[in-house]
Amino acid sequence: MHDLSDTTADELRTFRRALHGIPELALEEYQTHAYLLAQIKAWQNETMRIRTVADLPTAILVRIQGSAPKRTIGYRADIDALPVTEATGLPFASKHPGKMHACGHDVHMSIALGLVHYFSTHQPKDNLIVFFQPAEEALSGGKLAYDMGLFTGEWRPDEFYGIHDQPALPAGTLSTRIGTLFAGTAEMKVTVHGQGGHAAYPHLVKDPIVAAAELIVQLQTVVSRGVDPIQGGVVSIGVIQGGFANNVIPDAVHFEGTVRSMTKTGLEHMLARIRQIAAGVALSNDLDVTVELESGSYLPVENDALLAQQVIDFMQNSDQIAFTLAKPAMTGEDFGYLLQHIPGVMLWLGVNDTHPLHSPELRIDEAALLPGFMALKDFILWRMAQ
């Protein structure tokens, strides 16, 4: 049960609004780091250790010693924001022009702070590690942290949990599934290098615009003719740049996009196919095509089957938790990299808004905060009793 000494809805709302006002981009989260650290240090006691890392200076790890530990449970919250200009009109809107918590990481951090606060006064049975992770939206913060060896020895969780906001769900509703929840993603950057010249003499040039157009169309066959329709995938182009005058054929065309698959092997197959098609277009047009494909830590978020079933059973059987089974989504999340190395589960948390994630008008329903915190806290307590 929730008592007056526990984290309250007002406290969670205070955390969220303070953090919402100071969004910072990947690996630049210094003000956010300072706010989080000040809160956590105020609760520090003999059971709690706080760790910062010189090589990843905005990261924070908190370890709370269990009273009779059989395992170490990890909980991860991402802390960075997006290069989005906020248009919500909220009184606590972003104070940093061109930056916004448009993916709800302010909610993620607030709930993580709530967990640290609660377990600082209610010693957990198992060891608990809460990881405040920089650079989820870009620069692969999860991969950076893991590859630096942050999760070794007593700092290695046996299992990892985390949440992601979902505007399409009612505020406070939790949702997950067994297996893949989110897709693996890769950034695609392609430059077609031709030989420009006068548009009236196309026979004297190597036209990168025609070749780029051909390549973009052919890339659509990566999914439609190269991926099992049941598994699905995405190849979408979001940027194309080339040319400067209507009567001049340029030397080069550049375009960028995203590649997504629900499995790691599927993503690897799609990336290989993209390289093959690009090489074929280069050969047939007698020009050069350079392809950069970077998946970093944005691998599929594959929930551990046993742990996910435990989460589902617990939440479905609780009268205090609103829960629904999730369907796979093409959302990308670098928690997938951590789950390739440490078993765990990611869940959606409903935040009830008509605007999608990454929208400048995203308005999180703060009624999600307390139910989200309570559901996760209660699950962690239950899991530690097993």
Confidence of residue 6 (pLDDT cuts 50, 70, 90): low
Helix axes 9-20, 369-384, angle to 10 degrees: 110
What is the pTM for the complete model shown? Answer: 0.90
Same domain as 47, residue 153: yes
Same domain as 202, residue 146: no
Task: Classify residue 319: in a domain, yes or no.
Answer: no
- Tally Cβ neighbours within 10 Å of residue 251: 17
Q: Out of 24, 136, 137, 334, which one is annotated catalytic?
A: 137
Same domain as 226, residue 153: no
Question: How long a stretch of residues is the chain?
Answer: 386
Same domain as 210, residue 166: no
Task: Classify residue 308: in a domain, yes or no.
Answer: no
Q: Residue 285 is part of a domain; what is its CATH number?
A: 3.30.70.360
Task: Classify residue 324: in a domain, yes or no.
Answer: no
Same domain as 270, residue 145: no
- Position 108 scores a pLDDT of 98
pLDDT at 317 over 50: yes
Same domain as 143, residue 64: yes
Task: Classify residue 243: in a domain, yes or no.
Answer: yes
Same domain as 164, residue 194: no
Same domain as 114, residue 226: no
Same domain as 113, residue 72: yes
Same domain as 94, residue 214: no
| Conformational region of residue 246, where left means phi above 0, alpha means psi within -120 to 50, and beta covers everything else | alpha
Q: 370: number of CA atoms within 13 Å, CB side?
A: 13
Task: Classify residue 327: in a domain, yes or no.
Answer: no
Q: Out of 11, 78, 80, 333, which one is annotated catalytic?
A: 78
Structure tokens at 230: 């049941």
- Structural domains in the chain (count): 2
- Position 2 scores a pLDDT of 42
Confidence of residue 4 (pLDDT cuts 50, 70, 90): very low
Give the tens place of pLDDT for each residue, 245-255.
999 999 999 99
Tell me if residue 137 is catalytic: yes
Confidence of residue 295 (pLDDT cuts 50, 70, 90): confident
The torsion angles phi and psi of 86, rounded to 5 degrees, stand at -65, 140
Same domain as 39, residue 125: yes
Task: Classify residue 320: in a domain, yes or no.
Answer: no
Instruction: Look at residues 128, 133, 163 and name the one whose alpha carbon lies nearest to residue 150.
Output: 133
Q: Residue 112 is part of a domain; what is its CATH number?
A: 3.40.630.10
Q: How far apart are CA 47 and CA 88, in angstroms?
A: 41
Give the tens place of pLDDT for each residue, 189-224.
999 999 999 999 999 999 999 999 999 999 999 999
Q: How far apart are CA 267 and CA 255, in angstroms?
A: 20
Instruction: Sort strands 248-249 and 323-325 into parallel, antiparallel or unpaired.
Output: unpaired
H-helix segments, the chain: 9-20, 30-43, 105-121, 141-147, 208-219, 221-224, 264-285, 305-316, 335-339, 369-384
Mean pLDDT of all residues in 130-144 = 95
Give the tens place of pLDDT for each residue, 363-381.
999 999 999 999 999 999 9
For residue 129, give the H/E element and its range: strand 127-133
Confidence of residue 357 (pLDDT cuts 50, 70, 90): very high
Task: Classify residue 190: in a domain, yes or no.
Answer: yes
Structure tokens at 75: 């909980």
Same domain as 193, residue 164: no
H-helix segments, 148-263: 208-219, 221-224
Domain carrying residue 144: 9-172+351-384
Give the tens place of pLDDT for each residue, 36-87.
999 999 999 999 999 999 999 999 999 999 999 999 999 999 999 999 999 9
The torsion angles phi and psi of 93, rounded to 5 degrees, stand at -65, 170
Instruction: Look at residues 41, 136, 37, 40 and name the one whose alpha carbon lies nearest to residue 79.
Output: 136
The residue behind tokens 């530990």 is 69
Instruction: Sort strands 344-350 and 159-166 into parallel, antiparallel or unpaired.
Output: parallel
- Position 382 scores a pLDDT of 98
